[in-house]
Structures are given as C-alpha cells and as structure tokens.
Structure 1
Amino acid sequence: MEYSPPPLFKQGPSALARLIFFVVLALVLLVSDARFKTLEVVRAVLDAGLYPLQRAALLPRDLALGAAQFAVTNNTLRSENRTLAAKNLDLSLKANQVATLSAENAHLRALLDLSRNASTQSIPAEVQYGMRDPFTQKVVIGRGSQQGVQNGSPVVSEDGMVGQVTRVFPMQSEVTLLTDKDEAVPVEVVRTGLRSIVYGTPAGDTLELRFVPISADVVAGDELVTSGLDGVYPQGLPVAKVVRVDKQADTAFARVVCAPVAAVRGARDVLVLHYRNDAPPRPEEPAAPPKDAEAKKGGKTAEKSEKASDAAGDKAGDKAAKSAGERKPEEKKATGNATEKAAERRAGKSAENSAEKPAATAKAPGAPAARTASGAAR
C-alpha cells in the first residue's frame, strides 16, 4: 500500500533540498557581506524604512524620561539660580568695598606723597609644545622678543604661578616650569607670613620648601604666595599649597612637601607678566683701600724711622766733637778721624736706603749725614 500523497499535492522540490539551498544561500550572503560589503545598501534601506516604527515604539519611554528630566532640571536650575544670586550679591558688596578701599588708598598715597613700587603688564601666550629632554620641565610658548617678552619674566595661568621665562627668541620663548629641579621661587606663608624659598623636585610633580626650622609654624593646608622680595616676581601670586610636613628629631630642618596650585603641565594658555620694580637699587659695598695707599703709608713710616735714626746720629756726632775739643791734639786728631769714618759709614748706608725708596724719602737722610760730618770736622 502506498501512503504518499497523490500527484496533485506534489509541488516543487523536497523539504531537504530546500533546506540545503537556503543554508548555502545564507552562507554565501554572509561571506560576501563580510568580505565585499555587498549588503550595505540593503541594510541602509531597511534601516531607513524601519526607523519610524522604532521611534513610535520608543515614544512612551522617551516621554516618561523627558518628564522626569524636566522636573529634575527645573529643580536644579532653581537651586543654582538662588546660589548664584546670593554669590552675585556677595561679590557686589565686595566690589563696592574694593572700590572704596582703592579710592581711600589713592587718597592716602596722594596725601603722603607716595608712589607705587611696582607696575605689572601682561602678554597672553599659547603653549606650543614641550621640550624633548625628559630630565627638565620646560615648554615653549608662541611669544618672543618681537612681542615684548623679556628674559626672567614670570608666567602665570588663571590659577597661579606656572614658571619663568629663561630663554627668549624673536618669535618664541622657553619657559622653565615651577616644578623643574633648578627652579626656585621666594615665597611666604599667607597665614603666618613666614618667608622661605620653594624648589622643584627631580620627580617634577611636587615642590619642596627647604631650610624650614622644626619650630616654624607650618601645617598642611597652608597657602604659599610670592613674597616679592627678589624683585623678579610680583607680590601675592599663588604658588603652592602645603601637603605634608615631616619633622624628625635628628635634623634641624623640617621636610615640607607642597603641591602647585596651578596645572603646571596641563596649562595651554598663559600670561607673561612684565614686572617692573621701581624700588631703589641696593647700596654698593665700600671698596677695599687700594694698595698704593698702603705703600704710601709704609713709605711714610720708613721715612719717620729714618729721620729718628739720623737725629740720634747727629747727637752722637756732636758729643764726639765736644769731647775731642777737650782732649790733646793727638787724641783730637784720632777722635776726628774715627768720627769722620763713622760719618762716612752712616752716609753710605743712607745713600743705599735712599736708592731703594722714593726720591722724596731719599732726600731726608742726606742733610743729617752732612751735618754730622761737618760737626765731626769741626
């Protein structure tokens, strides 16, 4: 008995053949789309056609999220508005107070006939690139001597100190950052007024306040600003904040670790300050006395001693002449010869000394010797 359907219901290939055909077609489409992107157009058309249906299906969810976000945003904006209004009022009061204090300061300066000690101008600049040396902390900015940048000018950002100009080119300048190991900035602690110098570290990420005694009042959180005593940096620029203070019993100084308040390595736009200090220069130290003055002083001392020795010789010659007058003629003659020989020896010594000394000093011993010889002849 045959159980197969009648020929009327046999249409097309068998189910197995159709399965094999569709499997092979799917594999061909997958390989061709992965290798040659043949179905990109079909996919784009289907995506454009199905997009309205997707938006319609997501519409309830978008409405719920929009309502919740609107409520939260409205509440946040109201809170921020109240905060900004209070801050604006506070800033307005401070601005009025600053204006009043500025006017009072100008009046007092005019009254006391005082002038400002310093004036500061700024030049905006952009950081172009960093240096290739990994052992230095330096960057190059796009302003140079043609724009008025000077060597040694401080460089700041909106947060505080960034570095100092160390080399100036016509169109560019090299800036040594605050964290460089060779950079030093005179600072003072805002809370106590303690003055010191902050140095960079070899790591290039922190600062160090050196030579601070253990007994100094420095705690974590203290703010450091430029002291302005060096005449290079203006006073009051924010520099760093104290992070840690290590005090050890075996050392006389504390180790104070600080962090810069400005983004030293991440600054893109900076200001170059042209600081001009009008304070009078430091008085010069008195110069040492010249060697000529010492030589003259020594010559005068030698001249005085020579005069004293000549006077002593004159007195001795006079005494010998007197004693020779009282003796017999033979004794007088012998005494006179001895006195003349002594006078000649003194005259010879005086001539030798006068040849080594200045002419003014050499004239002095000549007259006493002549007087001694004439006295002995008498």
Structure 2
Amino acid sequence: MGPESSSPLFSGSVAGTLRLIFYLALAMVLMVLDHRNGWLWRVRYGAAVVVEPLYRLAGLPAAGMHALGVAFSDRQRLTEQNQRLREDLLLANAKLNRMAAVAEQNERLKELLDTRHSLKLKVQLARVVGVDLGAYRHRLLLDVGARQGVQPGQPVIDAHGVMGQVVQVLPTTSVVMLVTDPDDAVPVVVERTGLRTVAYGSRDGGQLTLPDIPRAADVKAGDRLITSGIGGRYPPGFPVGEVQAVAPSPTGMFLEAHARPSADLDRSQDVLVLHDLAAPAGPPEPAAPAGPPAELAPSSSAPAPARPAGPPPAKPAPAAGTPR
C-alpha cells in the first residue's frame, strides 16, 4: 500500500505525532477529571436517559413473549390448583358428613346402651338390614336369627319405645312386625288415667289406632301409652305411643283415638331384642291331668297296666296367629 492510503493519525509527519500526543493528553485529563469529579458519570447518566427508552423498545417483543408464557403457565397452574382444591373440599365435606353420621350413630348406640342398663333384662343388640314399609305390611329385617338364639314372639324395642315383635326367624336373619302393621295389636294402658285398651296398627302411614274407647273414658291428646303387660308378650311399662287426636268412632258408640308411635320406626338402625319374655305363639297348651290320690294310687307291687298298641295320641296343634 502506498503512503497516500495510510491513516494520517499514524503518519510519519510531525503533525501526526503532535495530534497523537494531544489525544493522549486529553484522555489522561478526562480520566483524572472523571476519577476526581465524576464528570463523565454525569455524561453517561444523561446518555442513559436518552438511550434507555431505545433499549426498552427493542426488548418489547422478547418481554411480551415472556409475559405471555408466564400468563399461560400461571393460568394452567391456577386451574390445576383450583381443581385440587375442589377435590380436597369435596373430600373434606364427605369426611365431615361421615363424621356427623358416625357421631349420630354413636349417640343412638349410647341411648341403646343406657336403655339396656336401665332395663336389667337380657337383651340382644341387632341391626336393621332391610325395610318393608308397604300399604299392608310394616316389617323390618334384622341381622340376627335362629343361630343367635332369636325366637318368634320376642319383643323388639329401641331407645324410645316398643317397635314390634319377631314373627319369622331364619338361620341368620329375622323378620319383625312393627306396631304400626295392620295385623299387629299391643295391649296398652293410658299412663295418666290407667285405662286399659288395645292399640292396633293402621294403614294410614305409621299411626296407631285405639278404636274401642268408652265414651265416658278420660282420654285426650298428649296422653302417653305404655304396655300393660296383659298377654305376656310385652313387659309392662314400655312406651308405645302418644295420643294425637280423639274423636267419635264411625258407629258413634265409642271413641277412636290416633297415636304416634314412641319408637323411631323409620330412623332406628340399631334395636334391642328382648330375650327372657318370649311366649309361644297361640293359646297355651292344656295342663296335664292330676294323678290319683295317694290312697287310690296302685301299689308298687301291682303290675302296671298294659299300654295300648299304636302311636300315642297327637297333641292338639296351637292356633296360629298373634294373640291380641
């Protein structure tokens, strides 16, 4: 390359050398001034004020893409978190409802336990596993049967009163006829006046009917009905129901009362089966005839009379049905 194309700053002339020395001296002066007084910092600060908007404008596309990515990721994360929170809330509500049901069941069991201790009778705890509440049948199915010692005719109660009696026994289950069944009848006594009568089941939705009350009897709404013990089926003193209304019967010769059962027939899940009080269904068997007096009895030396051939005479079968 020729000398005409070289930079004049580094030319070999005296003018070029002087310019280089001037620039170096100026640089040194500026460095000293910047170090002591911070003049160049002010210049850089002013330049940054002018240049910074340009940097921000140039970085807007990248910042916008980053903001969109963060927004979408935050939205997805919030959606997932909301879903988890909803599931946790449903699970917590389910557990809370379960705890309330368990607390209610424990309260019922406590009431049954208190009833058992107060009765001082032999009872058996059973659980309701089936319900048959039709127009003509009010029955329950219990989870105890013949293998657990249950027999037909045993009374069944809950913590509030009489529920009914066992009418059918299977190996592991038993059927209970409720006091509201149209085929059931319970001898009761009005606790306030001592009037004895019979409470029958009805078909009009879980009520008891007392149809044969004398017109002169003192029976009014609010009277409590308890078992009288007549018939030997139910022990005396158990609550049966509470009189709701009293009106003349259709014939006009008697009063007819309607009562609400004391037991929770449609809510009780655990019941007590009374043992020691069950009587066989039907009328009692005839008593054996008394033997001859001592002076008329044959002596031990006399030969015993010959027994007639053939099978012994069969005893009369007890009448079917529930005694009223």
**TM-score, length basis structure 2:** 0.52
Structure 1 residues 271-293: Cα deviation after superposition (integer angstroms, max 9, x where no partner): 21231569x95989xxxxxxxxx
| Deviation of the 1:215 alpha carbon | 2.3
Q: Provide the rounded CA distance (Å) in 2 between the counterparts of 1:176 and 1:249.
A: 27
CA distance in 2, matches of 1:180, 1:153: 16
Instruction: Return the alpha-carbon distance in structure 1 between the equivalents of residues 82 and 124 of structure 2.
Output: 58
Structure 1 residues 180 and 29: CA distance shift in structure 2, 3 A: farther
State the match for 2:259 in structure 1.
Answer: 258
Q: 1:205 to 1:23 in 2, by over 3 A?
A: farther
Q: Is the 8 A contact 1:178 1:264 kept in 2?
A: no
2:72 corresponds to: 28
Find the counterpart in structure 1 of residue 171 from structure 2: 170
Alignment of 1:344-359 (within 5 A): none
**Paired residues of 2:154 and 2:278 also in contact (CA < 8 A):** no
Q: Name the CA distance, whole Å, in 1 between partners of 2:229 and 2:241.
A: 15
Q: Is the 8 A contact 1:181 1:204 kept in 2?
A: no
Matched residue SS, 2:125? strand
**1:11 and 2:55 aligned:** yes
Partner of 1:72: none
Aligned 8 A contact 1:222 1:241 in 2: yes
CA-based RMSD of the aligned residues comes to 3.9
| Structure 2 residue 196 is matched with structure 1 residue 199 | no
Distance in 2 (CA, whole Å) between partners of 1:172 and 1:214 is 44
Q: 1:193 to 1:27 in 2, by over 3 A?
A: same
> How many residue pairs align between the two structures?
203
Question: For the residues of structure 2 that align with 1:191 and 1:39, how far apart are their CA atoms?
Answer: 63
Matched-pair contact (CA < 8 Å) for 1:184–1:198: yes
Distance in 2, matches of 1:167 and 1:243, equals 31
Displacement after TM superposition at 1:9 (Å): 4.4
Identity of aligned residues (%): 34
1:213 corresponds to 2:257:
no
Unaligned runs of 5+ in 1: 44-118, 285-378
1:153-189 CA-partner distances (Å, limit 9, x unpaired): 1111222101110100111111112222222111111
Q: Which residue of 2 aligns with 1:139?
A: 140
- Secondary structure, aligned partner of 1:10: helix
Alpha-carbon offset, residue 34 of structure 1: 6.2
1:120: how far off? 6.1
Q: More helix by proportion, 1 or 2?
A: 1
Aligned to 2:77, the other structure's residue is in SS state helix
Contact 1:137/1:204 (<8 A) preserved: no
Give CA-to-partner distance per residue, 1:208-248, whole Å, 9 cap, x none. 21122332210112111112222222222211111222247
Aligned residues of 1:128 and 1:141 also touching (Cα < 8 A) = yes
Q: Secondary structure at the match of 1:129?
A: strand
Counterpart code for 2:55: Q
**Runs of 4+ with >4 A deviation:** 14-23, 38-41, 132-135, 280-284
**Alpha-carbon separation, structure 2, partners of 1:270 and 1:169:** 18
Aligned partner of residue 131 in structure 1, secondary structure = strand
Q: TM-score, normalised by structure 1?
A: 0.45
Matches within 5 A, 1:203-282: 203-247=204-248, 251-274=252-275, 275=277
